Amino acid sequence: MKNSPKTNSAIIPIPPSQPASLADQENLALKNFLEGLLGISVQPSESLDKDLVLDSLSKISLIDFIEKTFGITKTYDQLTEFSSIEELANFLHLNKKFYRKEEISWITDLKNKWNFQIPKSSFLFLLKLIVFTVKKATSIVYTLQFKGLEHIPDGPCFFAANHQSKLDAFLILSYLDKQTIRDTYAYAKKQHIKGFIQRYLASRCNVIVVDLNYELKESIQKLAEVVKQGKKVLIFPEGTRTLDGELGPFKKTYAILSAELSIPVVPIAISGAYSHGSKRDKKNKNSKIMVEFLPVIQAKGLYPDQINNLVRQSILNNLSK
């Protein structure tokens, strides 16, 4: 989805010919944007990946800035083509369609209504059947314990859980009552939902299909629209399952949405599930898997980094007990 430029934007036409060796305007624009985004000093010779280490949200913010400021559309992966900020500035200098000197953030668009129809719940019985089956099968080998149902708020929220096994999402859902399951949405990567049947079932089982490589901005807007409609979103901020049983760093996508839309977050601590299915640890299986919903973190008045840190620390404290 492309954002419509504001009508009062000052677009500076590009003369027919410009010296290709000078990109001062572009270098300065990139420098100012990145320094405002990252809160650090930025030099033209620095690399976006190696020196600045831009995360996913920073990259899509940069992509959006380039499109709105210079009229050039780049994909997420194409940013890696440039070895330095200066090289990117030179490219913009030679290929820009216009120069719009204006501070615009795509994040502010999250509060606007977006034309996205959230998946239906018509096949929810199938999801509940799968959840029930997984829970029963797991309980044959492991003792399952659940705590903290009282911490789930009415209305929209993010369920943010640590990620120990392939069963995590099913175990979490198995603890929820019928109405909460109906109102809870999870997301799946597009590369994992390939066939027509998989896509059809996803669209009717509360699964939001996202493309984190080419449609990251649109994917985030989909998640925003779900919580804006009063629903709940289950997300694993680590992004992938733990490789060593330790809690990994948290990506802050959900925290930005939480802060911008004032949506509370319920941390979920999962323990004992790491060894489940682990080839390296089959001889030392834990006898108990615990899923605990922790006290809600209210987003109002907090910055995304604060929310993210509070959620991670809450889970870490629980796992350390």
Residue 284: the pLDDT is 45
Please give the CATH number for the structural domain made up of 11-104.
1.10.1200.10
Please indicate, yes or no, whether the overall pTM of this predicted structure exceeds 0.85. Answer: no
Is residue 298 within 8 A of residue 264, CB to CB? The reply is: yes
d(CA 71, CA 95): 9
Q: What angle do CA 232, 237, 239 make, to 5 degrees?
A: 120
At position 192, the amino acid (one-letter code) is: H
Helices (H), 195-252: 196-202, 216-228
DSSP E strand stretches across 76-164: 99-100, 143-147, 157-161
Which range (148-152, 154-158, 160-164, 186-190) has the least confidence?
186-190
Band of pLDDT at residue 212, cut at 50, 70 and 90: low
- In this structure, are residues 193 and 212 in contact, taking their beta carbons and an 8 Å threshold? no
Dihedral angle sign, alpha carbons of residues 72, 75, 81, 84? positive
The ranges assigned to domains in the chain are 11-104, 124-319
Distance of alpha carbon 97 from its chain centroid, rounded? 31
User: Is the CATH number 3.40.1130.10 carried by domain 124-319?
Assistant: yes
- Take residue 171 and report the two structure tokens written for it: 């175990």
Residue 185 burial (CB count, 10 A): 23
Q: Looking at 71-75, 124-128, 139-143, 280-284, which range is the least confident one?
A: 280-284
> Is residue 18 very low, low, confident or very high in pLDDT (cuts 50, 70, 90)?
very low
pLDDT mean over 294-302: 94
